[in-house]
């Protein structure tokens, strides 16, 4: 029997589409999936390069749509003097159009609010998968 014959040859054209669909469900844009770019991985690599341990880097970058959470983490560590867990809390759900680190820095500069309150104020909302759309 020849390799690659039969049903596997029939299903091979659908494998790429299936992978793109699965990555789409995970929030990875089709263009990024087609180029082989996975934002969660680039975020994770940036976070670990910035000194975050594996476990917290995975927590920080879970569901990330870009390396924004890691960029935010590095900035929060460098400029805001936050602990690693505080910086993860602040930056975990950051989207490309958000800048929680700047929010934190400005709020701390302009108010006398406790750091824990400023973290709550500046932490982005959790981005869930889109629900049922009609």
* Report for 1-15, 31-45, 50-64, 104-118: range of highest mean pLDDT: 50-64
Cα 134 to the center of its chain, rounded Å: 27
The structural domains of the chain, with segments of one domain joined by +, span 38-122
As a whole number, the mean pLDDT across the chain is: 78
Find the mean pLDDT for residues 6-26: 44
Compute the average pLDDT of residues 11-19: 43
Over residues 10-35, the mean pLDDT reads: 48
- Tokens representing 63? 């569901």
Check residue 113 and report its DSSP letter.
-
**How far, in Å, CA of 45 to CA of 40, rounded?**
9
Q: Residues 83-109: pLDDT tens digits?
A: 999 999 999 999 999 999 999 999 999
User: Predicted confidence band at 125 (pLDDT cuts at 50, 70, 90)?
Assistant: confident
């Amino acid at each position: 029997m020849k390799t690659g014959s039969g049903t596997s040859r029939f299903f091979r054209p659908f494998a790429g589409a299936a992978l793109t669909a699965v990555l789409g469900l995970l929030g990875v844009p089709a263009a990024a999936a087609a180029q082989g770019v996975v934002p969660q991985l680039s975020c994770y690599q940036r976070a670990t390069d910035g000194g975050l341990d594996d476990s917290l880097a995975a927590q920080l970058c879970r569901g990330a749509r870009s390396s924004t959470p890691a960029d935010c983490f590095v900035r929060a560590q460098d400029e805001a003097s936050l602990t690693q867990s505080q910086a993860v809390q602040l930056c975990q759900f950051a989207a490309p159009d958000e800048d929680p680190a700047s929010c934190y820095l400005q709020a701390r500069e302009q108010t006398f609010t406790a750091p824990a309150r400023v973290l709550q104020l500046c932490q982005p909302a959790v981005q869930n998968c889109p629900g049922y759309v009609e």
